[in-house]
Structure 1
Amino acid sequence: MKAIRVEKVVLNIGVGKAGEPHEKARKVLQELTGQKPAARAARESIRDFGVHEGEPIGVIVTLRKAKAIEVLKRILAARDNKVNTRSFDNNGNFSFGVKEHIEVPGIRYNPDIGIFGFDVSVVLGRPGRRVSSRKRARSKVGLSHRITKEEAVAFAQKHLGIEAVE
C-alpha cells in the first residue's frame, strides 16, 4: 500500500508564438511520445512579445502507466541518467529539461522541423493519493502517506536508474 509509483509524466514545449513554430513543436512531441499533444493557450496578452490572450503558444502531452515509464527512460538516457537533487520538490515530484530533442535515442534530426528543447515533469504517488484530487469526498493525504524528497530520490535511483547529482 505504501509502494511508490510514477503517476504521470508531462512533456511541455513552450514555443512562445503561434503558427509554424507551434506546429513544428507539436510534431516533435508526437514523434517523441506517439501521442497527440494538446495546445496550451496564452493566459494574457503581452504586447512586447507579440503574444495575444488565447493564442496557442505551447504544446503539452501527459503520459501515464507503462508508456510514461518507457518514454521517461528514453529521455533520461539523453541526460546520461543524471538528475540534480535540486530538481526534486518536497512532495516527491521532479522536473528537468532537455536542451535538444535530438539527444533522445531513436530521434533523428529533421531539417524541416529544426531543434526544440522541452521540459519534463514527473509526478510520483502512492496508492490512495487520489483522495486529494478527486471531486467527490475529497480529503487530505496523511503525513505518513506523503512522499518526501529523500524517498523520491531513492525511488528514482532504484527503479528508474537515475544518478542523483548535487
Structure 2
Amino acid sequence: MSTTAPAQAGTIQPRLKQKYRAEITKALTEEFGYTNPHQVPGLVKIVVNTGVGEAARDSKVIDGAIKDLTAITGQKPQVTKARKSIAQFKLREGMPIGAHVTLRGNRAWEFMDRLVTLALPRIRDFRGLSPKQFDGHGNYTFGLTEQSVFHEIDQDKIDRVRGFDITIVTTAKTDDEGRALLRALGFPFANPAQ
C-alpha cells in the first residue's frame, strides 16, 4: 500500500501536497518531536490581496486588478469596498478600493507550487524572503511589487504595475514551526546573517 494514495479516484494531487505528505510531515515530526500526526503544521489557506487607491478617481482601474488576480489565481476575486468615507482621499463609503482572493485546498497547494518554482525566481535582484515577517502564530505575509513575475500575466497587456500582498495561513502554533514548514516547502528565505 502506497502512502501517497489519491484522495478520490480520478483526481490528481498537487505536486507540493504529495511532497508534504510523503517527506515533510516525517521531517517536521522528527524535528519538533510531535506525538500526534495532527500536530504537524499544514497549509490552511492563501490570501492574495491588492489595494487600488486610484480606483476612487478612475473606476476602470479596479477592472484591471480583478483581471490580473483572476489570471494569477484562477479564481474570481472579491472586491474590497471602503468602510468609511475619508474626504482627504476623495473616498466615499462603499467605493471599490481593492480586491482579494482566498485559495483553499488543492488550489492553494498549486498556487504555492507556482509561486515558489516560477514566480519568485523571476524577481529581479531577488535575495530571498525575509524570515522575520511571521505574525507570532506561524502565518507568513509578504508583498510582491509587480504582477509581471507571474507567467500568467501577458507582459504586453499590463496597463499599470500592481503589487500584491500574499498571506500564507498555516496550522503552526509558533513562528519557528511555520518557518520550518515553509522552508521545507521550498520558500527561499534570506540568510539573516547577510
Query: Partner letter of residue 159 of structure 2?
Result: I
Match of 1:48 in 2: 88
- What is the 5 A alignment of 1:22-41? 22-41=62-81
Distance 2:86 2:113 in 1: 37
TM-score for both structures, normalised by structure 2:
0.69
Equivalenced residues, count: 145
Query: Partner letter of residue 43 of structure 1?
Result: R
Match of 1:98 in 2: 144
Distance 1:112 1:148 in 2: 39
Deviation at 1:73, TM superposition (A): 2.7
Q: Secondary structure at the match of 1:36?
A: coil
Distance 1:58 1:106 in 2: 20
| C-alpha contact 2:71 2:152 (8 A) present in aligned 1 | no
User: Aligned-pair RMSD on alpha carbons?
Assistant: 1.7
Q: Following superposition, which runs of at least 4 residues in structure 1 exceed 4 angstroms of deviation? A: none
TM-score for both structures, normalised by structure 1:
0.80
Q: Secondary structure at the match of 1:48?
A: helix
Give % identity. Answer: 34
Deviation at 1:112, TM superposition (A): 5.7
The structure number with the bigger radius of gyration is 2
Q: Tell me which protein shows more helix as a share of its residues.
A: 2
| C-alpha contact 1:95 1:120 (8 A) present in aligned 2 | yes
Query: Partner letter of residue 186 of structure 2?
Result: G
Structure 2: gaps (5+ residues): 1-37
- What is the 5 A alignment of 1:1-166? 1-16=38-53, 17-18=55-56, 19-76=59-116, 77-80=118-121, 82-111=128-157, 113-125=159-171, 147-158=173-184, 160-165=185-190, 166=192
| C-alpha contact 1:74 1:105 (8 A) present in aligned 2 | no
